[in-house]
Structure formats: C-alpha cells, structure tokens
Structure 1
Amino acid sequence: MRFHTRKWVKPEDLNPNHSLFGGRLLQWIDEEAALYAIIQLENTHVVTKFISEINFIASPKQGDIIEIGIVATKFGTTSLTLRCEVRNKMTHQQILTIDRLVFVNLDKDGNPRPHGKTAITFVADRLLK
C-alpha cells in the first residue's frame, strides 16, 4: 500500500475530546479515495457507492501527522474497489482501516459506464505510451 496524502491534525480538526474528529478523517479519506479512483479510471465522473465497516483503532491528537494509504483491490465492469489504511506518519501506529470503498465510473449523464480497466496503472507509465 502506498501512502501519498499526509495531513497535520490542527485545532479546527478536533472533537470535544481533543482528538481528531472522525467525520473530518472520513472526509479526507473519501476525497483521497475519489482522487485515486479518478486517476485509475481516467475519468472525473466517479462517485462513492459504498463504504464498508470503518475500524477506528487509535485517536490522533493535535499536532500529529497522519498519512492515508489507498490500494485498488478489485476492478468491476463499472466499479473500482479500494482498501484504505490511515496511520501516524512518525510512529506508523495504525489509526483506521476500511476494507472496501466502492466507486462507480459514470458517463457524462451520470449513468454507470464500463471503464475497461483490469489492473492498477501509474500515470508515469501512461505518459510513455
């Protein structure tokens, strides 16, 4: 799993317990996962369809630097399934896991559209073609 996105937990991200608000973390994850899906499917018309059980393992505190890791686990006809892990950048302590985030590839009218992808690709490799 590659960890690309890093976030610094700031005062505005905290809940009343002085730890990272879970909703903020889920917002960051959904955005990062959507960007990952858009890049993999080479289409900006992608939507979140499903997020499986969310396992909060630890609570980041103000000043912590966290990183979000995403990996593709399944390519459907119109969908892409991802797995996510969030960890503390400095200690590598696991913070959260999500086994399945499903994104659907859409056409310009908002209907599911086959994407034709079967494996993870990297932008650098696409540029060589």
Structure 2
Amino acid sequence: MRFLSRRLVMPNDLNFAGSLFGGRILEWIDEEAYIYASCQLDQKSLVTKHMGAITFEASAFQGDVVEFGLETTRVGRTSLTVCCVVRNKGTKQNICVADDIVFVHIDNVSRKPQAHGKTKEELDLLPIEPPGYK
C-alpha cells in the first residue's frame, strides 16, 4: 500500500467531541480514492458505485496530519475496486479503513458503464508516485 496524500485536520473538520468528524473523513476517502482510480485508469469519467465496510479504529484531532494509503484490489471490465487506509502520519496508527470502494467508468454522453480497457496486471506495473516523491 502506498501512502500518497496528506491532509491537516483543521477546526472545521471536528465533531462536537473535538475529534475528526466521520463524515469529513468519508468525504476525503471518496475524493482521494477517486483521484487514485482516475490516475490508475487515466480516465476522468468515474463514479463511486459502492463503499463497503468502513472501520473506524482511532481518533484524529486538530493539528494531526493524516495520510491516505491506497491500492487496487480488483479490476473489472468497467470497474476498479480500491482499498483505502487513513492513518496518523506521526504515530502511523490507523484511523479508518475502507476496504471495498468500487468506481465505474462511464460514457460521458449516455452515462452508462463503459469498458476502461485496463487489466490488474497492467495497473500493477504503473509507477504511482512521481520521481523523488517522499
């Protein structure tokens, strides 16, 4: 799993108890997973079809930096399934795991599923990070 992106937990991201709001982290997961899937397939016309089990394991607080680990778990004819782990950058403790996020490639005009033309084997060979990214 590659940790590709980071976010700073800001005051507007907190719930009434002072920890990171679950809805905010789900919004971030959907966005980060879309960006990852879009880059993997080299396609922009993707929609989120399904998010499976979401497990919240720890809290994050104002000032924490969280990072998003993503990997492709399955490639279908029109779909891509992604796993996302959100962890605290400093402690490396998992905050949240979303292990079944399915994106479907759609036709721009008809909005119907359309083959993306990629295989898992092809995607496994792609470099994710740009050179020098740490």
- Scaled to the shorter chain, the TM-score interval is over 0.9
Secondary structure of 2:63's partner? coil
User: Residues 39-50 of structure 1 correspond to what in structure 2 (within 5 A)?
Assistant: 39-50=39-50
1:106 CA drift (Å): 0.8
State the identity as a percent: 50
Deviation at 1:123, TM superposition (A): 6.7
How far 1:122 moved relative to its partner? 3.2
After TM superposition, give the deviation of residue 107 of structure 1 in Å: 1.1
Matched pairs, number:
125
CA-CA distance at 1:92 after TM superposition: 0.2
Give the Cα separation in 2 of the matches to 1:80 and 1:97: 17
Query: CA separation in 2, counterparts of 1:69 and 1:58?
Result: 16
Q: Distance in 1 between matches of 2:117 and 2:45?
A: 15
Task: Output the aligned Cα RMSD.
Answer: 1.5
> Alignment partner of 2:34: what SS?
helix
Does 2:131 align with 1:122?
no
Regions of 4+ moved over 2 Å: 121-124
Equivalents in 2 of 1:91, 1:123: separation in Å?
A: 24
Gap runs ≥5 in structure 1: 125-129
Taking the aligned partners of 1:99 and 1:37, their CA distance within structure 2 comes to 14
Residues 42-88 of structure 1: per-residue CA shift (max 9 Å, x gap) = 11100000000100000101111100111001000100000010100
1:7 aligned counterpart, secondary structure: strand
Compute the TM-score of the two structures, normalised by the length of structure 2.
0.89
Q: Which runs of 5+ in 2 are unaligned?
A: 130-134
1:127 matched residue in structure 2: none
1:88-99 map, 5 Å: 88-99=88-99
What is the SS of the residue equivalent to 2:33? helix
Kindly state the Cα deviation for residue 111 of structure 1 after the two structures are TM-superposed.
1.0
